Amino acid sequence: MKSAFNLKNLLAIALILFGTIVALQNQSNTIIDEEEIAILEIKEPSEEILKLVKPISDLVIDPTDRAKLAIFNQEFATRITKYTTDNQQTNDVYVLAASHFFNDELNDKYAGLDKAIIKLLQSSIGDDNHILTDEEKVDISLKFTGLAWSLIQK
């Protein structure tokens, strides 16, 4: 009868123990940075813009939704100044891009969010359909950048 403690088996057991000890040491040496990681670097907006956007950002309570909305609105704010567009096209681009970006995750999740964003957009461009001026596009950009900033503050 062969012994269960032959050289091959002892070597296998030693390697398994060595691997386990090394893995446990590596796990205990992992340093976790407790500081928050900034997802966007945005300058703080003016008080006037903060008064407009803070109530909108307060509607969104889920941290993941806040982060995604911040990224989306910052990208929209960056791009809007480069477009030649009118009111309706601006609204359509925002809605279509949001539906693709969020895959309907936010539909009916936050009461009043859609109306608040429309109101924010209208505060820059009004209701009448016209080609947006450079000043209107800059105003939209500042307000939506402010919204992005406000969303990443919680």
pLDDT greater than 70 at residue 32: no
Let me know if residue 40 belongs to a domain.
no
Let me know if residue 96 belongs to a domain.
yes
Average of pLDDT values for 101-118?
89
- Closest Cα partner for 106 from 119, 74, 97? 97
pLDDT value of residue 145: 95
Let me know if residue 102 belongs to a domain.
yes
Structure tokens at 34: 């407790």
pLDDT greater than 80 at residue 31: no
CA atoms within 13 A on the CB side of 80: 33
In whole angstroms, give the CA distance from residue 72 to residue 145: 10
What residues make up the domain containing 145?
A: 47-151
More confidently predicted of 82 and 10: 82
In whole angstroms, give the CA distance from residue 55 to residue 114: 13
Let me know if residue 85 belongs to a domain.
yes
Let me know if residue 51 belongs to a domain.
yes
In whole angstroms, give the CA distance from residue 110 to residue 57: 11
pLDDT value of residue 2: 60
pLDDT value of residue 8: 73
More confidently predicted of 6 and 76: 76
Average of pLDDT values for 97-117?
89
Let me know if residue 42 belongs to a domain.
no
pLDDT value of residue 27: 63
Average of pLDDT values for 93-110?
88
Number of domains in the chain: 1
Let me know if residue 110 belongs to a domain.
yes
Let me know if residue 35 belongs to a domain.
no
Count of other CB atoms within 10 angstroms of residue 12: 10
